[in-house]
Structure formats: C-alpha cells, structure tokens
Amino acid sequence: MENIINVKHPLLVNLVTKLRDINTNSYDFRKYLSEVGRILLIEALRDEELQEKEIQIWIGKYRFPSLNEQKYVFIPILRAGLPMLDGVLEMIPLARSGFLAIKRNEETLESVLYYDRVPPLEGKTAVLLDPMVATGGSLDYAISVVKKKNPDRIISLNVIGAPEGLKRISDKHPDVKVFIAQIDERLNDRGYIIPGIGDAGDRAFNTE
C-alpha cells in the first residue's frame, strides 16, 4: 500500500484521541476535524513546487517563492468531510472548492452519489476530504467521479481508515496518494471502524 501515507505527529494523534472521545461535543468535533485537515494538508504538500513571483516589499520589488493557490480544488465528501474544508482553506484561501454528497446505504454498505458540484478539474490538483475510510466504497466512488473530470493529480486527506478500505483504494487507485492520520484495527459486521470514532457525520452535526 505504497500510496497510503500514515502521517505521524504527536499533535495529530492527540487530536484523533479527542475525536474518539464520546464526550467531545459537535462544535469541538468539527473544530478538531478542521485542524486535522490542516495538518494533513501541510504534510501532503511538503514537496510542492513553488514559483518565483515579484512582489512589492518595503525596500522595492523583489522576487520570492509563491504557491499557485488557484491550482487546488478542495472536495469535501458531504456530510462528514465538510468541517475539514475550513482547515485547508485557512492554508490555501485562493483554492476553489467543489462538493460531492455521497451516502453509504447502511444495510448494503453500497455508496450512493446524491450531488456533484465539482468544478472543471483540468490542470488542477483535486484534494478529497473525508474523515472515514471504512469499506472504502465512498472514497472509491468519489475518486471515480473526480477522475472523469481529468485533474492533473488527486490527493485524499482522511482521518481514520480500516485496513480493508485502504487496501481497496490502494489496489484500485494506486495513483491517488492518501494521507491518513490513523489506521485502525478492523471493521465490525456493520462496516464501522473499530475502535474508530463512531458515525462521523452524526457526531459532527448532532444527529443520530
């Protein structure tokens, strides 16, 4: 699973532990998801190329390295991916955003696409955002939708994954780099990650 990068940092582990805690309320839950998204993005773009740009500073015009922020399109998978958008946009405010609503049928575990509002992706780096990779069905679906829009590159930022789901993504989409904060033990018989964080969408938006 060479394309699956388990990002290791004590601050990231600490945030995931707070997400796991059932006493974390939905406001804090969203805030921690946002922070995890921001840290994962920093790691994902560690080797990113910068371009020289002329800017005016206090002693005249100088050239400095700069990121082409408009190259990035952030795509949260609704609902649970939405809080991660705030964190990544703090780092790259000129990026575009697109939205995919994908819901897993909790009986069959099949993913259904309800809404695709992703802008054209030619020449762009598409960054998918979703806290959970359980069976991998939702991420697999999202990647397939995004691939049809021909981006230069696809990156996925995820918080917790099960080995089964990550293997599925690795086998089917070896060209997509997945940056993930924690790889947990397994799935239970209802397709939930163990130990996991429960239902991320419900926890983020106070539903059950």
List of residues contacting ligand URA (CB under 6 A)? 80, 132, 134, 191-193, 196, 199-201
Structure tokens at 26: 């939905």
Binding string, residues 52-91; x marks residues near ligand PRP by CB under 6 A: -------------------------xxxx-----------
20-45 as b/e: b if 16+ CB within 10 A: eeeebeeeebbbbbbbbbbbbbeebb
Pick 68 or 177: Cβ nearer ligand PRP: 177
Pick 163 or 191: Cβ nearer ligand URA: 191
Q: What is the pairing mode between strands 193-194 and 153-161?
A: unpaired
The helix or strand, by DSSP H or E, that contains position 27, with its residue range, turns out to be helix 26-44
Binding string, residues 103-122; x marks residues near ligand PRP by CB under 6 A: xx----x-x-----------
Catalytic site includes residue 171: no
Catalytic site includes residue 108: yes
Please report whether residue 196 would count as binding ligand PRP according to CB under 6 A. Answer: no
Q: Which is nearest to 46 in space by CA: 159, 150, 175, 179?
A: 179
Structure tokens at 3: 């394309």
Options 76, 126, 200, 203; binder of ligand PRP; rule CB under 6 A: 200
Catalytic site includes residue 46: no
The angle at the Cα of 93, spanning 80 to 115, to the nearest 5 degrees, equals: 35
Q: Which of 104, 125, 135, 140 is catalytic?
A: 104
Please report whether residue 197 would count as binding ligand PRP according to CB under 6 A. Answer: no
